[in-house]
Structure 1
């Protein structure tokens, strides 16, 4: 029997990969995002199209997220519609450290976790560390000036997004299991070492300056609140391997 799965944020960095893996496994997949026809729905706004998108769906993988705000409102609407549709399994992707780092976006993700847990639906929840893509986006911005300022004393544990997609697709294919062990990258690296690897891969020359920052969120990151701890799964894809795929070997660049 064909299983219908709805992937929210299914055109994004993670959701697109999850949808591909589920289709390969034989699932009928519906992609929901603000601009993907026929299920173009903005979860943050009332939209009757959500009920149509969920009709006959057995599993929802909730990847849609907006760092600018609105995740809680979107989750409430999605959960209400999923309950009306009789969805049997809700899979949610969150972030390692949402309960330890007092960042506004993290607080919203933690609140959504609570909504999922209290939804009345059967659910599975995975927390992952930051994707390599996001780290590169951050470093690209930091490298724009001639001097690259990096926050002192910070480490990170970036993970390959394809490995997160593999795990989410695995959860979606199975039954509800609640919160599963966190998924992190294979290495805990200083931000300075990540910056040097990025500069080497892109052929840029920048003087690195380490600057301590202030605030509770910085302290949370400095104390490793965003790193895996306790039982956790570790990916295998390294940051250097990601950089080589994205930017190519140094000798092949002009």
Structure 2
């Protein structure tokens, strides 16, 4: 039986990773800012982190914050992991962090590089956006009578449960370095995703695509965040909407 620490273990992804590993009979410790007995703010580190890692063989690092602090958190985690003799650090990243000059993506890429240079055994999986993230974004955009979408942008949402399964699998294997990306089953226009969401929620909105500007938008428009050659996910966006909002017709 392997002792595994899951950072961000109460989040959307980390919770599912924890469930899968425990179902396989492994001892799993959940590290988050507010969950005892491993309540630790990774951005600050400290003795609580050392205690949480005592006897741990593998870390699955799911904790992340678009608001900043990921690099500091990773630095503290890596230092404590080296001291504790952790053998394997598994990290979930995002497809396109090296191609789209978006602030959060730059931070994720920086964490990848810290892990690669850590001296620990490591595995990095990049995945496309989860369905629930796309729904949250569309929900915000749908608050207005006119739903303004970024023009000529596509997405490839993936089912979070499938990513959790893959992370759990990787955690129980030997360090593999950068593994193949994991993308959802379909590359979709943002317009088609929005219209599917509106049908599922029974809303009527005027959908308008608006060209934006900047290097990050250019990266998204060029599809840097997509991995059509690795469309290995099974669950579609309509499958996800159907579970949350009832049956949805295809686009």
Q: Distance in 2 between matches of 1:40 and 1:247?
A: 35
Q: Which TM-score applies when normalising by structure 1?
A: 0.96
Q: Determine if contact 1:139/1:198 at 8 Å carries over to the other structure.
A: yes
Q: Distance in 1 between matches of 2:55 and 2:61?
A: 17
Q: Which residue of 2 aligns with 1:242?
A: 240
Q: Which residue of 2 aligns with 1:226?
A: 225
Q: Distance in 2 between matches of 1:178 and 1:157?
A: 24
Q: Distance in 1 between matches of 2:117 and 2:46?
A: 23
Q: Determine if contact 2:183/2:228 at 8 Å carries over to the other structure.
A: no
Q: Which residue of 2 aligns with 1:122?
A: 121
Q: Distance in 1 between matches of 2:114 and 2:186?
A: 32
Indicate yes or no: 2:47 matched with 1:39: no
Which sections of structure 2, spanning at least 5 residues, go unmatched? none
Q: Distance in 2 between matches of 1:125 and 1:64?
A: 14
Indicate yes or no: 2:168 matched with 1:160: no
Indicate yes or no: 2:180 matched with 1:181: yes
Q: Which TM-score applies when normalising by structure 2?
A: 0.97
Moved over 2 A (4+): none
Q: How many Å apart are 1:128 and its aligned residue?
A: 0.1
Q: How many Å apart are 1:233 and its aligned residue?
A: 5.4
Q: Distance in 2 between matches of 1:38 and 1:57?
A: 14
Q: Determine if contact 2:45/2:77 at 8 Å carries over to the other structure.
A: no
Q: Determine if contact 1:57/1:87 at 8 Å carries over to the other structure.
A: yes
CA RMSD of aligned residues (A): 0.9
